[in-house]
């Protein structure tokens, strides 16, 4: 995830771009750059670092012109470097573009353009090159033709030295138009423009737009005009940084409809070959990442691998890796101290799964997979967990089932989940039950619940209930059952009945009619490929924890005693 800003008007563009980028820095902060159009010439200045320091060192404010684009980067393709920073020129210096997203077929497209000299390692640089490749008529025609060649996700803003216009497009990545008087804006998020306007037009999936100083036009992917009505925003700046959501956690939960697709596009080729060539695979992780590690271990074990997930802090005392062992380290920050200690162990190969380009874990390992989830502000992991699940699926399956609108379907259940949260907010204990590949999701649901609601909760493989835990189930005890219809449902139904016999209040996440009959409350799960059930279950559990937390008067973004990145052992 990265931050994009664009401006066309009569004010000095560089000033507006710098201000906007500072408000977007939460979306990416490893490098920054701007391009301005001045008297038919595009000038670009960019470098690694935070917005303010790069702007000062490169004297952005000296850049003339009343049209410009800017970008603050969260690296996905290519290391953090000046060359990989945006904006990017095309083959000449007559077209410049900024991009947020992941172009899945960039390697093939680069191969088709061998006569083009690419200055960076990024997938994003392809876009201005493609436009130039197709530029034998109008710019908008070349723009549309180029977009049709892209597979993956994108928010794009391009500028042509020959025209005083901005060209925009979005697919699976947000982009918003801001309407001013004699000036127009665009950005990844509303805060970047809020100082200048309260009128906005969020682009919808597949939209393409042209901005001039006085107007905007929006087209569909085939170039036909469409109408998008402006909205008026009355948010405070703090609210705007959260896109109108009351907390970053809720904003990040909703961002998963974009981030999961970007995570599914991650490059896993090298890591997958390492896994194929090893029989013993040790997975080390902590907290939420450990639950993703459990999922990977479960799925690889089903394929016949000797795969085990370990709590990283205990790994040095338990495991004895050898020269035939492959280690997989999973860490959102890439700086988790316990994991850094664990992966010092001797092995024949190391894989990192992380969200932070250039982090310590990425530098240590032989192969690194980036989650592409963008910065996560809330302490409780949400979008980074589903990003990890997406990567786990890529590593474990030959082909990942297409999730389609699954994420949006689960997000649409928020109102009914909030009502269930009201029933749970006064409780002091809760239990999460599942079987099979849904067990790691039960662990994650319980962790999310306890860390931001301060309600004691535990998760169990449901068969373990009768080995002690049933003694704690009494009248009104909440039991959250993860019970989509699969090969485990019949046995899980028996466990649900055991809790009901002792007075439990059962909340089921299910699409099974028999489970629904035994439940007091139901969060309906759509019928999808069973391999996608963990993804479908994770999101309502995040929403449930969030709403219980808010109902109890807790700030879910900042749970007590916890930090986002644990860099001490």
Is-catalytic flag, 427?
Answer: no
Cβ atoms < 10 Å from Cβ of 222: 9
Residue with tokens 């990942």: 400
Phi-psi region of 372 (alpha: psi -120 to 50; beta: other; left: phi over 0): left
Cβ atoms < 10 Å from Cβ of 501: 10
Given the residues 270, 272, 427, 564, select the one marked as catalytic. Answer: 564
Residue of 10, 11, 96 lying closest to 45 (CA atoms): 96
Contact 206, 228 (CB under 8 A): no
Peptide bond into 568 cis (omega under 30): no
Angle between helices 287-302 and 383-396 (to 10 degrees): 20
For 193, 436, 520, the CA distances from 489, given in Å and listed in that order, are: 50, 10, 17
Residue with tokens 């008026």: 232
Cβ neighbours of residue 415 closer than 8 Å, sequence gap 6 or more: none
Given the residues 2, 186, 286, 365, select the one marked as catalytic. Answer: 2
Is the Cα torsion angle 229, 233, 237, 241 positive or negative in sign?
negative
| Three-state secondary-structure class, residue 202 | strand
- Strand 154-160 vs strand 306-311: parallel, antiparallel, or unpaired? unpaired
Cβ atoms < 10 Å from Cβ of 419: 10
Residue with tokens 């699969």: 486
Contact 68, 7 (CB under 8 A): yes
Contact 504, 473 (CB under 8 A): yes
Is-catalytic flag, 270?
Answer: no
| Three-state secondary-structure class, residue 519 | coil
How many residues would you count in the chain?
Answer: 569
Cβ neighbours of residue 112 closer than 8 Å, sequence gap 6 or more: none
Residue of 89, 223, 215, 98 lying closest to 161 (CA atoms): 89
| Three-state secondary-structure class, residue 76 | coil
Residues catalogued as catalytic: 2, 564
């Amino acid at each position: 995830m990265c931050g994009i800003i664009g401006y066309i008007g009569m004010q000095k563009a560089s000033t507006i771009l710098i201000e906007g980028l500072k408000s977007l820095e939460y979306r990416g902060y490893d490098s920054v750059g701007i391009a301005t159009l001045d008297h038919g010439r595009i000038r670009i200045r960019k470098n690694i670092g935070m917005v303010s320091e790069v702007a000062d060192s490169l004297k952005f404010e000296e850049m003339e012109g009343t049209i410009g684009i800017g970008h603050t980067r969260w690296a996905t393709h290519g290391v953090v470097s000046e060359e990989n920073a945006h904006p990017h020129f095309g083959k000449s210096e007559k077209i410049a573009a900024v991009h947020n997203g992941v172009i899945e077929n960039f390697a093939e497209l680069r191969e088709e353009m061998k006569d083009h000299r690419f200055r960076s390692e990024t997938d994003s640089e392809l876009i201005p090159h493609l436009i130039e490749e197709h530029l034998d008529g109008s710019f908008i025609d070349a723009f549309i033709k180029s977009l049709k060649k892209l597979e993956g996700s994108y928010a794009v803003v391009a500028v042509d030295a020959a025209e005083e216009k901005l060209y925009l497009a979005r697919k699976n990545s947000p982009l918003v138009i801001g309407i001013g008087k004699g000036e127009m804006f665009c950005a990844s998020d509303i805060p970047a423009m809020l100082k200048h306007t309260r009128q906005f037009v969020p682009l919808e999936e597949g939209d393409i737009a042209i901005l001039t100083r006085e107007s905007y036009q929006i087209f569909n992917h085939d170039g036909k005009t469409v109408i998008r009505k402006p909205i008026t925003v009355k948010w405070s700046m703090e609210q705007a940084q959260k896109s109108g959501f009351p907390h970053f956690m809720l904003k990040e939960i909703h961002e998963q409809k974009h981030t999961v697709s970007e995570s599914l596009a991650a490059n896993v080729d090298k890591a997958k070959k390492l896994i194929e060539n090893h029989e013993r695979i040790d997975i080390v992780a902590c907290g939420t990442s450990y639950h993703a590690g459990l999922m990977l271990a479960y799925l690889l074990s089903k394929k016949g691998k000797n795969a085990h997930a370990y709590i990283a802090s205990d790994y040095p005392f338990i495991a004895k890796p050898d020269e035939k062992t492959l280690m997989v380290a999973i860490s959102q920050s890439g700086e988790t101290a316990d994991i850094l200690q664990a992966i010092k162990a001797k092995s024949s190969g190391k894989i990192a799964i992380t969200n932070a380009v250039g982090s310590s874990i990425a530098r240590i390992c032989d192969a690194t997979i980036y989650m592409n989830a963008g910065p996560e502000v809330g302490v409780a992991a949400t979008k980074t967990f589903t990003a990890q699940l997406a990567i786990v699926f890529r590593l474990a399956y030959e082909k990942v089932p297409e999730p389609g609108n699954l994420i949006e379907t689960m997000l649409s259940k928020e109102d009914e989940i909030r009502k269930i949260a009201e029933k749970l907010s006064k409780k002091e204990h809760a239990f999460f039950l599942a079987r099979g590949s849904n067990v790691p999701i039960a662990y994650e649901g319980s962790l999310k619940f306890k860390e931001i609601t301060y309600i004691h909760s535990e998760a169990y493989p449901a068969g373990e209930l009768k080995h002690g835990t049933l003694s704690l189930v009494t009248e009104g005890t909440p039991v959250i059952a993860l019970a989509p219809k699969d090969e485990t449902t019949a046995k899980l139904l028996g466990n649900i009945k055991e809790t009901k016999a002792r007075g439990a209040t059962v909340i089921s996440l299910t699409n099974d009619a028999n489970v629904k009959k035994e439940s007091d409350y139901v969060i309906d799960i759509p019928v999808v490929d069973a391999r996608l059930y963990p993804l479908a279950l994770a999101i309502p559990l995040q929403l449930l924890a969030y709403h219980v937390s808010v109902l109890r008067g807790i700030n879910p973004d900042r749970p007590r005693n916890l930090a986002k990145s644990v860099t001490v052992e």
